């Protein structure tokens, strides 16, 4: 990275005391997991591929559920390995500056790379678990996928026979309120918000960016395509995240300066 914007990005990271990171699908593409809305994204190539992402379609149409479960059999998530971007964030955490990773990804690769699970907030849930839409029972996804591999096209809940679904947040479902509260606190409690590999087109995740900016954080956006929030960022990089994040994680802290937290928004009057 040799541009003026890249130099500004390095300076931001060097001066940061508390970094919060917001990641999206672009962070995992180098691990063989396609993104959704990019030029070669899953939904860009196949408009019907997103049907299973709608909770209404999933609940009302058994055919959609069958397609969704069949797709899980061959999901690249099961064999994906963390890439340089995931590992770079682990190094940034070990430097003591990265406090929280907020991710829209459901693949678990941040934790697999070595990120402290307590520092990773999975806004959209995880593909590695299942939940019953009737009784709320949860379980490992591997058990459900095994049932599909053995011939069940639409495995149901073994406790109540309700509809079984991955523990991910589909369109039409609300995010976990506590996870969202912690994510908002994390962007208020940072001096730099590093946004990597997300188009910032899905709310409420995208709304974390202007929230951080209004609270005084410097926003650094790295994404292949422009985002709706580039204008609130201090620095925007249209560079591969697999190259940018390792470079930024290697920047030593400059020291100096002071940082004051805004505190827990639930205590504001």
Distance, in Å, from the CA atom of 98 to the CA atom of 95, rounded to the nearest integer, reads: 7
Active site residue 124: yes
Q: What is the largest CA-CA distance in the chain?
A: 61
Category of 196 on φ-ψ map: left (φ > 0), alpha (ψ -120 to 50) or beta:
beta
From the candidates 86, 110, 124, 128, which is the catalytic residue?
A: 124
In the structure encoding, which two tokens stand for residue 51, read together?
């049907």
Residues 210, 229 contacting (CB under 8 angstroms): yes
| C-beta atoms surrounding 7 within 10 Å | 12
Distance, in Å, from the CA atom of 62 to the CA atom of 43, rounded to the nearest integer, reads: 21
Those residues whose C-beta lies under 8 Å from the C-beta of residue 254, and which sit 6 or more positions away, are 11, 14, 15
Q: How buried is residue 219: exposed, middle or buried, by Cβ count under 10 Å (0-12/13-18/19+)? A: buried
Distance, in Å, from the CA atom of 23 to the CA atom of 28, rounded to the nearest integer, reads: 9
CA distances (Å), 45 to each of 127, 163, 242, in order? 22, 28, 23
Residues 34, 42 contacting (CB under 8 angstroms): yes
Distance, in Å, from the CA atom of 24 to the CA atom of 38, rounded to the nearest integer, reads: 11
Which amino acids are annotated catalytic? 124
């Amino acid at each position: 990275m040799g541009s003026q914007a890249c130099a500004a990005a390095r300076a931001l990271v060097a001066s940061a005391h508390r970094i919060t990171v917001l990641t999206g699908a672009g962070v995992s593409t180098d691990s063989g997991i396609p993104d959704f809305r990019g030029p070669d994204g899953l939904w860009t190539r196949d408009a019907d591929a997103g049907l299973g992402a709608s909770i209404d379609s999933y609940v009302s149409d058994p055919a959609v559920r069958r397609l969704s479960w069949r797709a899980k059999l061959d999901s690249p998530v099961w064999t994906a390995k963390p890439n340089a971007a995931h590992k770079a964030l682990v190094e940034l955490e070990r430097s003591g500056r990265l406090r929280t990773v907020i991710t829209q990804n459901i693949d678990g690769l941040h934790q697999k790379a070595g990120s402290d699970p307590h520092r990773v907030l999975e806004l959209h849930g995880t593909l590695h678990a299942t939940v019953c839409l009737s009784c709320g029972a949860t379980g490992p996804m591997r058990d459900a996928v095994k049932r599909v591999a053995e011939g069940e096209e639409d495995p149901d809940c073994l406790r109540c026979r309700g509809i079984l679904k991955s523990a991910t947040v589909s369109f039409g479902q609300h995010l976990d309120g506590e996870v969202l509260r912690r994510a908002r606190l994390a962007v208020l409690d940072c001096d730099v918000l590093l946004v990597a590999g997300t188009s910032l087109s899905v709310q409420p995740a995208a709304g974390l960016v202007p929230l951080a900016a209004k609270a005084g954080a410097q926003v650094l956006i790295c994404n292949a395509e422009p985002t709706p929030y580039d204008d609130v960022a201090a620095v925007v990089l249209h560079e591969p995240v697999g190259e940018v994040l390792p470079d930024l994680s290697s920047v030593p802290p400059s020291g100096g300066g002071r940082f004051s937290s805004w505190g827990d928004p639930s205590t504001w009057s």
